[in-house]
Chain A
Amino acid sequence: MSQDKDITNKRPADTDDVIRDVTGSEYKYGFVSDIDSDIIERGLNEDVVRLISKKKGEPEWLLDFRLKAFRYWETLKMPTWAHLDIPPIDYQAISYYAAPKKKESPKSLDEVDPQLLDTFNRLGIPLEEQKALSGMAVDAVMDSVSVKTTHREKLAELGIIFCSFSEAVKDYPDLVRKYLGKVVSYRDNFFAALNSAVFSDGSFVYIPKGVRCPMELSTYFRINASGTGQFERTLIVADDDSYVSYLEGCTAPMRDENQLHAAIVEIIVEERAEVKYSTVQNWYAGDKDGKGGVYNFVTKRGLCRGDFSKISWTQVETGSAITWKYPGCILAGEGSVGEFYSVAVTNNFQQADTGTKMIHIGKNSRSTIVSKGISAGHSQNSYRGLVSVAPDASGVRNYTQCDSLLLSSTCGAHTFPYIDVKNDTAIVEHEATTSKISEDQLFYCNQRGIPTEEAVALIVNGYAKEVMNKLPMEFAVEAQKLLSITLEGSVG
């Protein structure tokens, strides 16, 4: 009996090696840029909130918003419901504002700190003007402060506003005030309250009526200074009949300490407009023993306010020591559409609790959720999602598929969907499977002369393809590369 057990439990030796190689990957974005930063004292109190607001020269109403959020945050405790093991976070040990030092705002790229440009060049961001022809408008945010936005003039011709959040506060206060906090209230959750109190910068996008944004808008986030947290805020407003595709990427240096990233993304979509939001999240995930890494606690939500509006979230989550993120859609408009495509890869000691919320309020609203989890090493990967159908939302259709792939015997894959249906005409479906890479598929590939390593790559790529296909091309290439780095040896 025991002999029989040994045989059946044993994997073929080469598969084992390949899977073990998974843990051998290194983080290639882990450099630190030697840039002079303006960092405020660690700690958080009302004075810090006032100081951030003052440093940014904000109007009174924004300071009030921050203070309300801060006072509310003080009454909250950190949530514990997620399937995550979060070491206690000392919120007083973090500096809530770190900005690359600059004397005057740069007029052209020549004036931007060359070190900074070098940082972005190393990240492969086409920030420089000569690369601008590659057709992407980029807003680069380092340590929560936007450093340079490209292509602004060209966009402005169409009436599109794409700028840093603080510029938007100065130049378009009415727009910001109208939409800020309308989708993610400062009372939404612990991290949303924290962000609302201390957010330093972010991106603001406004697409006017009937305009189809001719290029992908992109933001790159990078935490650079040590001992700081990053708290940025993104606000995207798509007016009637408009369309925009927005990309977001993030990296951080390798550090032994854990860094906190608590962002808010708000999207408002009016009638017949469409927003496509893609994320490739690659914060530093910690080393192979689980030391260091970014805590990524993000609140992202879109409001399909107009009829026949659409929001599509696509995310490739490969980084962060801990991810706590549920991009959601409030489908308030009639016939509005929400989509969520996600690949979440965890390795070593990473933990991810991610998924989506689809709140169906409008009649005939539809949503699709495709979530692919890949766990390796000692990681824990959870899908958590909510599909809710309001009593008056007739004709709602939802389809959810969440699959998990396990690449080691020490990792975990979990699924926690919540389905709340309050209307009898709704059709809501959920399917989930969990399995390891099929021995049969590997054997089939081997038999045809494909080495196990390549076969694993083939299978994992195929597994994630459905989501990868949804990414804009520029990102798809990068996401593929990231997958291969995260699961080095078995993918790519």
Chain B
Amino acid sequence: MSSIDQYISLYEHNRETIDSHAPHALNRIRPDALSALKRFGRFPGKRDEGYTKLSLEDMFAPDFGVNITRVPFAVDVALSFRCDVPNVSTLLGVVVNDSFRPTATLLKNCPEGVTVESLASLAESDPDFVEAYLGKLSNNRDAAAALNTLLMQDGVVVRVKSGVKLDKAIQIVNIFNASADLMGVRRVLVVLEADASARLLFCDHSQSGDFKYLSSQVTEIFLHRGASLDFCDIEESTEQTSRIAQLFVSQEEGSNLTVNGTSLTVGTTRNEYHVDITGEHCDTELAVMAIADNNQIIDNSARINHLASRSHSNQLFKYLLDDHSQGAFEGLIYVAPDAVHTEAYQSDRNLLASTDARMHTAPQLEIYCDDVKCSHGAATGQLDQNALFYMQTRGVPRAEARMMLMQAFMADVIDRVAIDGLRDRLRHLVERRLSGEHAVCGDCAASCHN
């Protein structure tokens, strides 16, 4: 029996409860998700292409509770507010498991033309908008996405109206809070209308203590003509946390997308990036870094589909793996037959810092058009012994030299982060992470990690 069956039966037995706690715009697409799930029959496992290091079948197998009756969790939002990045003034919202709670600053400072709201409430007040976008990109294309659609009840919507350029970054703090083994099903919808621009920062934190927590998040991003989005995603959870975060993006003509992914403390995490470039002159940057130790598993999968001509994409993935940790990277550049003058690059660099760390890399190109420039590179190795020696001859202690080299290794990912204050913050977090300290965010009192 596949672990998918427990979720199908959960839905079939509690269909009314689930639907009664969610708006119609969310309920109407569940039947399709259900039939998709039945069609898939199981979650992909290690024998499936693209899931070599991480079996979703195992990930979803434990008997997680799902909060379908929407019992509220007591989280002190004021405490979480400390997660705010110092020196960066952001519009902050907090999502506990899946329910969105805006902060006073967000409500007060949110400019005209910008909506940062709970998915459930927007689906009540503006169902047409939600129906026009929700599920259109994830489209039940795999079992994990279909499951999210089947069980989602709330999440966040960010909408920036045409021509609005948002100065302040929007920060959404996701808090995984549980008093039993729990699966959080979160849905994020980001719509940037023509010529709009925004910066979004997502941080995942965990307050689930020793309980197992599985976070299922599907993010759908629509970038209309000329829109520009910087999307930052930082995961700082616990080793009991499993996370599957799927990002689906559709880019129209002339739009720009920068995605920064950072995995600092995780249990088992799988991040998927699916980008469809449907218009000409788009620019797509993916810069992702992962630092893992103990028995952590980080699996990143990226697929950039160049469906239109004259667009540019660049992917950079960096892993630093210590102890028994495992890393996996599956990247694909797809160039459609008519996508001439595409420029697409992909690079994966990995450092193995211990004899037991494992790295699996599959950088792939699938090209159906001749007039393109595409390249990919992958390298797995260790710190340059010559550089270490050089620094030691100049009086830098070995440990410090190692630290400097590791920081330098991560620097080019951090340098691509568009939010100024966040860059310094990340440098600091990485430094602390590398020095072995748990990367508790500075003066945070939210006790995420206790």
Residues of A contacting B: mostly:
strand
Q: A-facing mask of B343-356, CB < 8 A → 1, else 0?
A: 00000001011111
Chain B positions within 8 Å of A81 at CB level:
49
Any B CB within 8 A of the CB of A417: yes
Distance between B152 CB and nearest chain A CB, rounded to angstroms? 33
Q: Is the CB of A418 within 8 A of B362?
A: yes
Known: A421-B380, A429-B379, A433-B374. A416 touches B364 (CB 8 A): yes
Let me know if A413 is at the binding interface, CB within 8 A.
yes
Residues of chain B lying within 8 A (CB to CB) of residue A427: 379-382
B73 → chain A closest CB, angstroms: 41
Is there contact, CB below 8 Å, between B367 and A417?
no
Determine whether the beta carbon of A417 is less than 8 Å from that of B375: no
Bound form: Cα–Cα A96–B271 in Å: 49
Which single member of A410, A415, A430 contacts B337 (CB below 8 Å)? A410
Flag the segment in A121-129, A153-161, A212-220, A401-409 that touches B: A401-409
Residue numbers in A under 8 Å from B379 (CB-CB) = 427-430
A264 to B361, CA, bound (A): 28
Q: Is A75 an interface residue (CB 8 A)?
A: no
Quick check: is A101 within 8 A (CB to CB) of the other chain? no
Please tell me if the beta carbons of A425 and B382 are within 8 angstroms of each other in the complex.
yes
Closest A residue, CB atoms, query B359 = A421
Across the interface, name the chain A residue whose C-beta is closest to B357: A424
| Per-position binary interface string of chain A over residues 386-415, scored 1 when its CB falls under 8 Å from any chain B CB and 0 otherwise | 000001000000000000101111111111
- Residues of chain A within 8 A (CB-CB) of B421 are none
A175 CB, nearest partner CB in chain B, Å = 37
Please judge, given known A-B contacts A421-B359, A432-B375, A435-B374, whether A412 and B367 are in contact too, CB under 8 Å: yes
Set B341, B355, B367, B371: member contacting A423, Cβ < 8 A: B355
Given contacts A9-B340, A431-B375, contact A419 B361 (CB under 8 A): yes
Contact B366 A414 (CB under 8 A): yes
Q: Are B374 and A418 in contact (CB under 8 A)?
A: no
Question: Which of chain B's residues has its CB closest to A412's CB?
Answer: B368
A426 at the interface (CB under 8 A from B): yes
Report whether B382 and A419 are in contact in the complex, using a CB–CB cutoff of 8 Å. no
Taken residue by residue from 64 to 87, chain B's Cβ proximity to chain A (1 for < 8 Å, 0 otherwise) reads as 000000000000000000000000
Inside 8 A of B370's CB, which chain A residues have their CB?
406-409, 411, 436
Q: Does B42 sit at the interface, judged by CB under 8 A?
A: no
Other-chain contact of A434, B358, B367, B381 (Cβ < 8 Å): B367
Set of chain A residues within 8 Å of B362, measured between Cβ atoms: 416-419
Tell me which of B356, B359, B377 contacts A430 (CB under 8 A): B377
Closest Cβ neighbor of A400 among chain B residues: B378
Q: Which of A70-93 contact B (CB under 8 A)?
A: 81, 83
Flag whether B423 is at the interface (Cβ < 8 A): no
A11 to chain B, nearest CB (A): 9
Q: Which residues of B contact A436 (CB under 8 A)?
A: 370-372
Docked CA distance A44–B356 (Å): 48
> A408-B370, A410-B337, A436-B371 are contacts. A415–B364 as well, Cβ < 8 Å?
yes
Asked whether any CB of chain B lies closer than 8 Å to the CB of A422, the reply is yes
Q: Are B378 and A8 in contact (CB-based, < 8 A)?
A: no
A428 touches B373 (CB 8 A): no
**Complex contacts, B62 vs chain A, CB 8 Å:** none
**A428 and B377 in contact, given A404-B367, A409-B337 (Cβ under 8 angstroms):** no
A412 to B375, CA, bound (A): 15
Per-position 1/0 for A427-463, Cβ under 8 A of B: 1111111111000000000000000000000000000
| Interface contact A430-B378, CB-CB below 8 Å | yes
Chain A nearest CB, measured from B163 CB (Å)? 22
The answer for the CA separation of A398 and B291 in the assembled complex, in Å, is 24
Contact call B360/A413, Cβ cutoff below 8 A: no
Contact B371 A409 (CB under 8 A): yes
- With contacts A9-B340, A435-B372, A436-B371 taken as known, whether A428 is within 8 angstroms of B381 at the C-beta atoms is yes
Q: Does B369 lie at the interface of the complex (its beta carbon under 8 Å from any beta carbon of A)?
A: yes
Q: Closest residue of chain B to A398, judged by CB? A: B380
> At the interface, yes or no: B45 with Cβ under 8 Å from chain A?
no
B59 at the interface (CB under 8 A from A): no
Once bound together, how far apart are the Cα atoms of A414 and B358, in whole Å? 26
Residue in chain A with minimal CB distance to B353? A424
State whether B369 touches A422 (Cβ < 8 A).
Answer: no
Q: Which chain B residue lies CB-closest to A423?
A: B355
Given A431-B375, A432-B375, A432-B377, is A413 in contact with B367 using a C-beta cutoff of 8 Å? yes
Which residues of B lie under 8 Å from residue A433 when comparing CB positions?
Answer: 374-375
A427 closest partner in B (C-beta): B381
Counting chain A residues whose Cβ lies within 8 A of the other chain, the interface size class is 35 or more
| CB within 8 Å for A429 and B378 given contacts A407-B370, A413-B367 | yes
Q: Using CB atoms, name the residue of chain A closest to B354.
A: A424
Interface bits B148-172 vs A (CB < 8 Å: 1, else 0): 0000000000000000000000000
CB of A64 closer than 8 Å to a CB of B: no
- Residues in A whose Cβ lies below 8 Å from that of B188: none
Q: Determine if B376 is an interface residue (Cβ-Cβ < 8 Å).
A: yes
- Chain B residues with CB under 8 Å of A432's CB are 363, 365, 375-377
A17 to B366, CA, bound (A): 26
Is A420 positioned at the interface, with any CB of B under 8 Å from its CB?
Answer: yes
A319 to B: closest C-beta gap in Å:
22
In whole angstroms, what is the CA distance A430 to B363 when docked? 9
- How far, in whole Å, are A419 and B372 apart by their CA atoms in the complex? 25
User: Residue among B353, B361, B365 with the most chain A CB within 10 A?
Assistant: B365
Residues of chain B contacted by A425 (CB below 8 angstroms):
355, 382
**A9 CA to B339 CA in the complex, in Å?**
11
Chain B's closest residue to A8 (CB) is B341
Q: Which residue of B lies closest to A397 (CB)?
A: B381
Are the C-beta atoms of A412 and B366 separated by less than 8 Å? yes
Q: Indicate if the CB atoms of A423 and B352 lie closer than 8 Å.
A: yes
Q: Contacts of A407 on B, CB cut-off 8 Å? A: 370
Known: A417-B364, A435-B374. A428 touches B382 (CB 8 A): no
Chain B residue at smallest Cβ distance from A430: B378
Chain A residues with Cβ below 8 Å from B352 are: 421, 423-424, 426
Residues in A with CB closer than 8 Å to B376 are: 415, 430-432
Cα separation A431 to B378 with both chains bound (whole Å): 6
Query: Of B337, B341, B378, which contacts A417 at CB under 8 A?
Result: B378
Within 8 Å CB of A422, what residues of B? 358
B360-A418 in contact (CB<8A): yes
Most chain B beta-carbon contacts within 10 A, residue among A83, A415, A418, A427: A415
Closest-CB distance, A15 to chain B (whole angstroms): 11
B337 and A414 contact, CB distance less than 8 A: no
B361 nearest CB neighbor, chain A only: A419
Give the chain B neighbours of A424 by CB distance below 8 A: 352-355, 357, 382
* Bound-state Cα–Cα, A435 to B374, Å: 7
List B contacts of A430 (CB < 8 A): 361, 363, 376-379
A8, A410, A413 pick with most chain B CB within 10 angstroms: A413
Q: 5 pairs across A/B with beta carbons < 8 Å?
A: A9-B371, A419-B362, A429-B379, A430-B377, A436-B372
9 additional A-B residue pairs with CB within 8 Å, beyond A411-B370, A428-B381: A412-B368, A414-B364, A417-B364, A418-B360, A419-B380, A420-B360, A420-B361, A430-B361, A432-B365
The 8 closest A-B pairs by CB, nearest first: A406-B370, A424-B352, A419-B361, A415-B365, A427-B381, A430-B378, A436-B370, A433-B375
